[in-house]
Structure 1
């Protein structure tokens, strides 16, 4: 699963500061987008279809480089949480089946002993 947020920036607006809590990808959809990442040299001028990645903890400034820019923030973090939850569910189900099957066998053995 992916989380996608669409944003729109006007050239006359102040730059937006992003602080990545988890890895993010910035991708312009329309217009020119200016991105500068703190503690990295240089500015980035992104055209539609180009992308730049932010690692968790990165801080960036984003602004429209032309009249208006629409852009996306994308993260894959939800996928890792979903796969972890799915994996945990499979493990718990397997453990439950093992315990249930073993419990059933114990009951059969116990009842057989009682009958004997």
Structure 2
């Protein structure tokens, strides 16, 4: 159950993750321990705990029109492979990024 004060984006992300959990492809991609498995963008978002827009900003950066400030992309976030117009990441790359992010 979402806690009080959660934004609409977080509620949407939780609902989407719950919908995806019933999808056999999503389950196979997120539960596999093989390091060379390619996982799709929704599975990456669910694993990291971010929204699709945050993933876009991590890859491309963002520009705030009100302040005129540009925020650069996250430097060590892995680049996806594009297959049939969809983005996929290697599981090993995502795990390496998460370890570098936590400092372990």
TM-score band w.r.t. shorter chain: under 0.3
Q: Which has the higher contact order (CA 8 A, sep 6+)?
A: 1
Structure 1 or 2, whichever has the larger Rg, is 1
Which protein is richer in strand relative to its size?
1
TM-score by length of 2: 0.23
Which protein is richer in helix relative to its size?
2
